[in-house]
Amino acid sequence: MTGLMLLLACGVKTRDTTYTDPDAYGVVDGTGIEARDMRSVADQMARELLGSQALAGFDGTPVLSVANVENETRFLVDAEIITALITDALVNHAAGELAVLDGPGQADFELRGELRSLSAASNTAQSDYVLFRFQLTQLSTNVMVWSNTYEMKKEGSWGVVYQ
């Protein structure tokens, strides 16, 4: 116990924690998928899907199920975060034009998504191209009625580990 007190008395420096905007560039920055990327893609995708002809031409209020986004990248991404962001964006932007299932149920459409990446590296730099792809399938016909991709490419130096 006295050793701990001695360390504290000697002025062990600690870093204060601060809150930052999830869309802001932080002090730790890399070439992988970050919060601002997921938030931007989820919002843009929801707005484009809700404005699509696939949903506009449906008779009645379409019911949608959202499948978990699949992460096929090298990055340790919790894909449930982007699934939640997409679901929330759809619910919040739908304004009664779409019903989103919360669990099992009879849906008219299913939205699926995946993350893919292509990486290149040298001894001093890293480059990552990431593709977010979403597809809307009308379940009664099994026909894909809407599909879109969102791309990003980042280049930088080595040193960031994503978890």
The rounded distance, in Å, linking the Cα atoms of 60 and 98 is: 9
pTM of structure: 0.78
Q: Is residue 52 part of a domain?
A: yes
Q: Is residue 26 part of a domain?
A: no
| % of the chain exceeding 90 in pLDDT | 50
Residue of 65, 49, 47, 69 whose CA lies nearest to 116: 69
Contact 86, 42 (CB under 8 A): yes
> Is the per-residue pLDDT at 163 higher than 50?
no
What range defines the domain where residue 137 resides? 31-156
Q: Count other Cβ atoms within 10 Å, centred on residue 64.
A: 22
Q: Is residue 5 part of a domain?
A: no
The rounded distance, in Å, linking the Cα atoms of 33 and 128 is: 9
| Residue 11: per-residue pLDDT | 56
Q: Is residue 15 part of a domain?
A: no
H-helix or E-strand containing 93? Answer: helix 79-94
Residue found by looking up tokens 């843009």 in the block: 44
| Residue 127: per-residue pLDDT | 87
End-to-end CA gap in the chain: 34
Q: Is residue 23 part of a domain?
A: no
> Is the per-residue pLDDT at 133 higher than 90?
yes
| Residue 30: per-residue pLDDT | 65
Burial class (CB in 10 A: 0-12, 13-18, 19+), 42: buried
The rounded distance, in Å, linking the Cα atoms of 163 and 149 is: 24
Q: Is 2 left (phi over 0), alpha (psi -120 to 50) or beta?
A: alpha
The values of phi and psi at residue 88, to 5°, are: -65, -45
Q: Is residue 13 part of a domain?
A: no
The per-residue pLDDT for range 4-53, each reduced to its tens digit, is 554 455 555 566 776 666 666 665 566 677 888 889 999 999 999 999 99
Q: Is residue 84 part of a domain?
A: yes
CATH number, domain at 68? 3.40.50.10610
Residue of 24, 48, 46 whose CA lies nearest to 37: 24
Q: Is residue 72 part of a domain?
A: yes
Split into its structural domains, the chain has a count of 1
Mean pLDDT, residues 75-99: 91
Residues 6+ apart with CB under 8 A from 56: none
